[in-house]
Amino acid sequence: MRTAADTARRQKLAVLTALVLAAAAAYLLYEVNFSNARLFRYAMKIRTPKLLVMLITAFAIGGASIVFQSIINNTIVTPCLLGMNSLYTLIHTAVVFFAGSGSLPAVNANLSFVVDLALMGLAATVIYSYLFQKTRHNVLYVLLIGTVLTSLFSSVQTTLTRVMDPNEYDALLATLVASFNNINSELIFLSLAVLGIVAFALRRELRLLDVLTLGKNQAVNLGVDYDKCVRRLLLGVTLYIAVATAMVGPISFLGLIIANLSRQLLRTYRHGQLILGSALFGMIVLVGGQLLVERVFHYAVPISVFITVGGGFYFLYLLLTNRRT
């Protein structure tokens, strides 16, 4: 039987969906020359891949953030703690440092995406499968390992940039900031395939997520293999973040913002609705923000910079709010 609260949440999700559609339509059609069919087709050819990448990125980061926070049982953490953002910057810095900015891995978007995804997937498998078992399925140890590796990757990357040729460093900077310009449409299908395979492989664990958040003892009493589910979900979260990062670059704090907005708006423990709400919020932030930055105000600064700055303030707000409560 549907309660009034369920109806209200469905209405909120419907409103978010309408906002996403409105933002997507505005991004596609704002300042388009409708009188010239050739120019219109050209504009759609340029804008459609960007829009699809923003929607995919929002879905990947939004879903992964909700799952990650639920596993850790903390709403002010972010999947950035898993170290994938720092590993991404290290990979690209190492490629430019050792092979040069004109090398095939640096200029070929498809090869770069495959290398990023392969290395980050390998790191995720080692950390969140092998080491998770070695630490007797202690999530806090895994977070500590991720934090230490983040510092290690950042330190090595900083060292390489200090001794790098200045011209090579200038070429590197463009790849280290998340951007939706110069999107390779071929990566869209590959990313969707990877995300779909991961979601299908974890379909059982995702259905059990509501039970897992009750705690290990309660989940085990209900017949759930808690440690195995958490291990597989952590690996899935890392792969989703890896796909989003490999597509556009690291976007710090986006997951923190949209996951908490979803929780505050929906006020539910049903993860199907929370994940959908988080993904929709992400789409609104990315598509709406990119529309304002790119088309309305014509800023040269990427939307990821504004998200990082705003996310920092939002993190402090959440920290102070939780401390008061």
Q: Of 45-49, 140-144, 281-285, which gets the smallest average pLDDT?
A: 140-144
Q: Of 97-111, 132-146, 148-162, which gets the smallest average pLDDT?
A: 132-146
pLDDT in tens, 62-121: 999 999 899 888 888 788 777 788 888 988 899 889 888 888 888 887 888 888 888 888
Section 188-203 average pLDDT: 93
pTM confidence score: 0.90
The H or E element spanning position 291 is helix 289-291
Measure the CA–CA gap between 103 and 124, rounded to whole angstroms. 26
Domain 4-322: CATH superfamily, name plus number: ABC transporter involved in vitamin B12 uptake, BtuC (1.10.3470.10)
Give me the pLDDT at residue 238, please.
86
Q: Is the pLDDT of residue 250 over 80?
A: yes
pLDDT in tens, 270-300: 999 999 999 999 999 999 999 998 888 877 7
On the 0-12 / 13-18 / 19+ scale of CB atoms within 10 A, 246 is buried
Query: What single-letter amino acid sits at 251?
Result: I
Q: Would you state the structure tokens that stand for residue 23, as one six-digit string? A: 């933002």
Give me the pLDDT at residue 319, please.
77
Between 107 and 325, name the one with better pLDDT: 107
Residues 277, 266 contacting (CB under 8 angstroms): yes
Measure the CA–CA gap between 85 and 90, rounded to whole angstroms. 9
* Nearest to 307, CA basis, from 265, 258, 260, 263: 258
pLDDT in tens, 219-240: 889 889 988 898 889 889 988 9
Specify the DSSP class assigned to residue 3.
-
Measure the CA–CA gap between 245 and 219, rounded to whole angstroms. 32
